[in-house]
Amino acid sequence: MTAKKPHPRFPRLKRREASGKAPFVPLSPRREKRMRKTRIATYLLLSLLVTSLAGCAIYSWRFTSAVRGLALGEIAVGDLADGEYEGEHRVFHVFARVRVQVSGGEIVGIELVNVEKMQRADAARVQETLARVVERQSLRVDLVSGASASQKVALKAVEKALASPPR
């Protein structure tokens, strides 16, 4: 058996012909460079995707935890002075500003001031919930499924409004 000469461009590569395996055909330096760039770009895009998904998951988890931890207090409606009260509350991206009218020791009406900044379906559900607050004269009302975060934030805004002095 004669010794094979090393490959002229890649002297460290041993030829595999003697072992019966297909010979290794090295890539050209230009193609290797392009493949390396493609591999790096792929890794960067994958890491960006994983980071984005992790960020969304953490944001969602923190938002859900904040909404679940939102505690509503009781209000003594009979002790309130007549007038108009304003309050607002924000939990992450959900924001509610309300105007509450009190007359004769009763809540007469609650207006959702920032309706245009809420999604239409959420705003309708929040207004239904606020109508139930006026009806029951209490913040202890059932929430409509699907917009419970917006409804809880609006109820907290009502609570803050009634805790503040009238305008």
What are 100-122's pLDDT values in tens digits? 999 998 999 999 998 777 777 78
Is pTM beyond 0.75 here?
no
Q: Are the CB atoms for 112 and 130 separated by under 8 Å?
A: yes
* pLDDT (tens digit per residue) in 120-165: 778 888 899 999 999 999 988 888 777 788 899 999 999 999 998 8
Residue 84: enclosing H or E segment and its boundaries?
strand 83-91
Q: Which residues contact 80 (CB under 8 A, 6 or more apart)?
A: 102, 105, 162
Q: What are phi and psi of 84, to 5 degrees?
A: -115, 130
Report which DSSP code applies to 25: -
Q: What pLDDT is recorded for position 85?
A: 94
How far is it, in rounded angstroms, from Cα 150 to Cα 43? 39
Among 139, 141, 134, 72, which Cα is nearest to 106's? 134
Beta bridge partners of 88: 97
Whose tokens are 């002229």? That residue is: 8
**Which letter, b or e, does each residue of 70-107 get, where b requires 16 or more Cβ atoms within 10 Å of its Cβ?**
eeeeebebeebeeeebbbbbebeebbbbbbbbbeeeeb
Residue 130 to residues 29, 97, 135, 154, 166: CA-CA distances in angstroms?
Answer: 70, 12, 9, 8, 19
Mean of pLDDT over the chain: 85
Instruction: Return the minimum-mean-pLDDT range out of 5-9, 70-74, 85-89, 148-152.
Output: 5-9
Beta bridge partners of 85: 100
* pLDDT (tens digit per residue) in 26-38: 778 888 899 999 9
Q: Which two tokens stand for residue 107?
A: 């809540």
